[in-house]
Amino acid sequence: MSGRPVKRSLTLKGHRTSVSLEDEFWRALREIAAERGIAINALAAEIDESRGLDVGLASALRVHVLTHFRRALDRDRDRDRDR
């Protein structure tokens, strides 16, 4: 596992931008996008639109991934508790 960020290009609202994230976050974003049946650019655009002006795009993407998987873990725990 490498902790070095990897710079990739995204298209948001018709404009190209570069974002540096660790490979693990890129993989997680692709997984989330695939679950939803959308392109990674569409997912990134949604995250971009919902972030505050004081939050960088890379940070918003990381937090989205963390929140997504925490919610999934909570749902699994709730489901196991209800059994």
Instruction: Please report, to the nearest 10 degrees, the dihedral formed by the alpha carbons of residues 34, 70, 49, 30 taken in order.
Output: -20
**Per the domain annotation, does 74 fall within a domain?**
yes
**Per the domain annotation, does 1 fall within a domain?**
no
pLDDT value, residue 75: 84
CATH number of the CATH domain containing 30: 1.10.3990.20
pLDDT value, residue 43: 97
Q: Which domain holds residue 64?
A: 6-82
d(C-alpha 8, C-alpha 44), whole Å = 12
Report helix, strand or coil for 17. Answer: strand
**Per the domain annotation, does 69 fall within a domain?**
yes
Tens place of pLDDT for every residue, the chain, 83 residues? Answer: 568 999 999 999 899 999 999 999 999 999 999 999 999 999 999 999 999 889 999 999 999 999 999 999 888 787 777 77
Tell me whether residue 61 is exposed, middle or buried, using C-beta atoms within 10 angstroms of its C-beta: 0 to 12, 13 to 18, 19 or more: buried
**Which amino acid does the sequence have at 20?**
S
Q: How far is CA 41 from the centre of its chain?
A: 10
